[in-house]
Structure 1
Amino acid sequence: MNATYNRFDAAKTAARLFDDVAAFSADSAGVSRPAFSAVETQTLKYLEDYARAQGLSVQYDAGQNAVFSLPEDANADRFILVGSHVDSVPNGGNFDGLAGVIAGLLCLARAKSQGIGFAKPVKVIAMRAEESAWFGPCYIASKALLGQLDDSELSAVHKGDGRDLGTHMSEIGINMNRVRQHKPLMDPDNIDCYIELHIEQGPLLIEKNMPAAVVSGIRGNVRHKKIRCIGEAGHSGAVPRAYRKDPVLAMADLLSRLDESWLTILQKGEDLVLTSGMVGTDPEKHALTRIPDLVDFSLDFRSQSADALDAMRDLLQQEVRSVERERGVKFELDAELHTAPALCDEKMVDGLSASMAKVNLKPFTMPSGGGHDAAVFANAGIPSAMVFVRNRNGSHNPEEAMEIPDLIAGTDIIFSYLTEMAQ
């Protein structure tokens, strides 16, 4: 067939796919596609309908993720896996995750329309449940695929309905016996390598005026979904400072100490970010004139260095004990959630960089501050790499502003790699 590739038509197709998914997953602000929800299932079905209309093969794996391919590659024993996730955070943006799936589908549709094959068989996966916002654990689909979901993660409860992760997974048809036995739902030996396109979640490509980049590595993280600081309630005007056991000020003291250590680590040239994104006293008790008896908060620190993560974990324990002694409070930490840092495969990074040059883009590599499914694949020993696409206003918010021509540029990089460089 060898039809001429039309970038304008590809851009129109991508824009339509994004708009349609945004329409049925719209929330009061942005979009909400909860992990293992009906909306997430609807998204997969919509992408399935598009793929079938393009003459592509569609299958569902044991994790109930949608897997797309050229018909001749549907039963390939070994393949390059391209993809990302379709769930979003609550009131999030429409491009985080979904852009990587659509980029993969565009690569398949382009190959199909032009009547050409890839250097190696390619399958595109649309994964469920990457975001930690719904249950706490992150990368649920990719961990399940590789047999890495642990028991504590399976018992994590949904932020909305309070039911555990295992129940939600079972209800959509996942064989939980294999998951609970930590057996892979997809044979890792079948995966030649993994490639993921994702919007950049920071400002670097905007500042450099570059449409895309190849990712060199992905930060790991240590997270606590809920740390509780327990103090002693009292009247805001009647209890002198010396007699107070104020959990809010104790929390602030702890976070301030961690912030100072963060700065010290950065001044030493090491990589680290630290965030407390959820903070709250008991809404049934809190009041303007009341010293609260407890406060709950989250903690998330990330680094490309495993040593830096270990150091922050130790520092957290030391500072918790110190603040407890000095302020007369007690901290209760929930189970730690941990993902190791991951380096992208050097040969793949070089190949994707060469593909950037081949499609007339200046090669550029950068690290990823956010975590991605690619880290799970990489740490399982599967060669993995990523392409970032320029995006304004960060991610995990309704203001995500990836431009379609930039997505096409990132897709061109991957298509060039799949058809020529992957060999």
Structure 2
Amino acid sequence: MNTIVPRSTFSQQDRDLVASLFADIGAQTADTEGVSRPAYSAIETATIDYLVAFARKHGLEVEFDAACNALFSLPEDLAAEKFVLVGSHADSVPNGGNFDGLAGILAGLMCLVRAKNEGRRFARPVKVIALRGEESAWYGPCYIGSKALFGLLGTTELSARHKGDNRPLADHMAEIGIDMAPVKAGEKLFDPSCLLAYVELHIEQGPLLVNKDLPVANVSGIRGNFRHKAITCIGEAGHSGAVPRAYRRDPVLAAADLFTRLDDDWDTILQKGDDLVLTSGVVGTDPQKHAIARIPDSISFSLDVRSQDASTLDAMRDLLRAHMRIVERNRKVRFELDDELGVAPALCDGDVVAGISAAMRRLGFEDYVMPSGAGHDAAVFANNGVPTGMIFIRNRNGSHNPREAMEIDDFMAASSVLYEYLTHSEAA
């Protein structure tokens, strides 16, 4: 039986320092509720500038890649030809929580600062990255910053419109200084062979660690997804009191019929023991036309389908289209799909997972391994051949909302696991 008492190896001074960093950035990016750090915005840039100033104050080196992501390192690792990359994203959803993404960057920075202060070297060179543009809330596509590095942003994604000003993603990227010619040509913006591993520390965005009373977990893999920003169901407008049911072409009830069919599929798939989650987070009729006494002529809705299994995603895509054909025939409506966005499921690397597990055991933490239901930049690195791992931190009240409630003590515990992995792991 393991009798080691779980512990953080960071000092109280480190704890106080990182608490002040979270507080400062939270105050600087506060919105009417929570924080808003829009992808490829002046606010996101100011957040990265704050991190750069902190890093330089503590003797770290700073560089920027071709996608305007910031990279931090110990001075002796600046010119390393191969290195472990640690980090997460600097942006947030609108009115989100302060810890989503930011925790992974600050954990990496605290590991660098600690190594600098203690005069230690990592087992392998380490660089910390502050990625831009992970959240899909602003444009629709997700993992924009990491996809750009691998040359994976296509015309559809670059043309995606910002939810606020309706300008295309490509314009916003160019505005912060990114040379868009290689991005549009699908060129890699760095040499992936330089990465020995990618490790991302992130708050858990669900309830498992809270329910299990565990501060930290090791991640085995990340769900993939396909999604539609706007599917439109087109029917026929009419008076709410004058058109009998048999003569209606009601797009709202047609959409509800489709959702019910998809929900039944979801239940069946779960009963078979397979993995699936399904969400329609944006639903609405035209606000310029809708009225309480009017049958609407159309309704639009988003659809986000996620699974750890690619075959399940393929099956749900086929079911979606089959159900649409049935509902169209039964209710005399028409569905129009916008361009599909998506990313494949990703498995974490066995050696990296084993190294993180060993670090957890050495520090006395339960070696708990779990999948990630939410998506992360780590999925892009993993699906492009980079050995990848993730560390989860317990977090109450979910995520993508102002009520995120990560405890600093849990953050220090997870950062200790990360530091232990970086200073002892030789896994390639």
TM-score greater than 0.5 by the shorter chain:
yes
Residue of structure 2 equivalent to 1:40: 44
After TM superposition, give the deviation of residue 323 of structure 1 in Å: 0.4
After TM superposition, give the deviation of residue 362 of structure 1 in Å: 1.2
Aligned residues of 1:231 and 1:292 also touching (Cα < 8 A)? yes
Aligned residues of 1:7 and 1:408 also touching (Cα < 8 A)? no
* Whole-Å separation in 2 of the counterparts to 1:152 and 1:282: 24
Q: Structure 1's 353 and 287: CA in aligned 2 closer, same or farther, altered over 3 A?
A: same
Residue of structure 2 equivalent to 1:389: 393
What CA deviation, in whole Å up to 9, does each residue of 1:116-146 have, x standing for no partner? 0011110000001000000100000000011
Residue of structure 1 equivalent to 2:414: 410
Residue of structure 2 equivalent to 1:199: 203
After TM superposition, give the deviation of residue 262 of structure 1 in Å: 0.3
Q: Which amino acid aligns with 1:352?
A: I
* Whole-Å separation in 2 of the counterparts to 1:93 and 1:231: 39
Q: Which amino acid aligns with 1:234?
A: G
* Whole-Å separation in 1 of the counterparts to 2:11 and 2:161: 44
Identity percentage of aligned residues: 63
Aligned residues of 2:86 and 2:199 also touching (Cα < 8 A)? yes
Aligned residues of 2:10 and 2:416 also touching (Cα < 8 A)? no
- The 3-state SS of whatever aligns with 1:45 is helix
Q: Which amino acid aligns with 1:148?
A: L
Residue of structure 1 equivalent to 2:87: 83
Residue of structure 1 equivalent to 2:355: 351
- The 3-state SS of whatever aligns with 1:322 is helix
2:284 to 280, 283, 293: 280
2:229 to 225, 232, 238: 225
Q: Which amino acid aligns with 2:160?
A: A
Pairwise mapping of residues 6-405 of structure 1 onto structure 2 (< 5 A)? 6-405=10-409
Q: Structure 1's 323 and 6: CA in aligned 2 closer, same or farther, altered over 3 A?
A: closer
Residue of structure 1 equivalent to 2:4: none
* Whole-Å separation in 2 of the counterparts to 1:370 and 1:57: 32
* Whole-Å separation in 2 of the counterparts to 1:322 and 1:186: 47
After TM superposition, give the deviation of residue 276 of structure 1 in Å: 0.2
What CA deviation, in whole Å up to 9, does each residue of 1:368-410 have, x standing for no partner? 0000000000000110000000000000000000000111111
What CA deviation, in whole Å up to 9, does each residue of 1:84-138 have, x standing for no partner? 0010000000000000000000110010000000111100000010000001000
* Whole-Å separation in 2 of the counterparts to 1:29 and 1:291: 35
- The 3-state SS of whatever aligns with 1:392 is coil
- The 3-state SS of whatever aligns with 2:31 is coil
* Whole-Å separation in 2 of the counterparts to 1:91 and 1:6: 31
Q: Which amino acid aligns with 2:418?
A: I
Q: Which amino acid aligns with 2:209?
A: L
* Whole-Å separation in 2 of the counterparts to 1:218 and 1:201: 12
- The 3-state SS of whatever aligns with 1:361 is coil
When the two structures are aligned, how many residues end up with a matched partner? 420
* Whole-Å separation in 2 of the counterparts to 1:284 and 1:152: 27
* Whole-Å separation in 2 of the counterparts to 1:325 and 1:422: 60
* Whole-Å separation in 2 of the counterparts to 1:268 and 1:369: 18
Q: Which amino acid aligns with 1:386?
A: M
Q: Which amino acid aligns with 1:303?
A: S
* Whole-Å separation in 2 of the counterparts to 1:45 and 1:73: 21
Aligned residues of 1:254 and 1:323 also touching (Cα < 8 A)? yes
* Whole-Å separation in 1 of the counterparts to 2:33 and 2:123: 42
After TM superposition, give the deviation of residue 24 of structure 1 in Å: 1.0
* Whole-Å separation in 1 of the counterparts to 2:148 and 2:426: 27
* Whole-Å separation in 1 of the counterparts to 2:412 and 2:372: 20
- The 3-state SS of whatever aligns with 1:351 is helix
After TM superposition, give the deviation of residue 7 of structure 1 in Å: 2.3
What CA deviation, in whole Å up to 9, does each residue of 1:27-48 have, x standing for no partner? 0110000000010000000001
Aligned residues of 1:135 and 1:158 also touching (Cα < 8 A)? yes
Q: Which amino acid aligns with 2:40?
A: F
Query: Structure 1 length as normaliser, TM-score?
Result: 0.98
* Whole-Å separation in 1 of the counterparts to 2:23 and 2:154: 36
* Whole-Å separation in 1 of the counterparts to 2:289 and 2:407: 46
Gaps in structure 2 of 5+ consecutive residues:
1-8
What CA deviation, in whole Å up to 9, does each residue of 1:162-185 have, x standing for no partner? 111111111111111111111111
What CA deviation, in whole Å up to 9, does each residue of 1:163-212 have, x standing for no partner? 11111111111111111111111210111110000000100000000000
After TM superposition, give the deviation of residue 422 of structure 1 in Å: 3.2
What CA deviation, in whole Å up to 9, does each residue of 1:266-313 have, x standing for no partner? 000000000000001000111111110010100001000000000000
* Whole-Å separation in 1 of the counterparts to 2:189 and 2:273: 40
CA RMSD in angstroms comes to 1.0
After TM superposition, give the deviation of residue 6 of structure 1 in Å: 4.6
Q: Which amino acid aligns with 2:321?
A: Q
Aligned residues of 2:10 and 2:412 also touching (Cα < 8 A)? no
Gaps in structure 1 of 5+ consecutive residues:
none
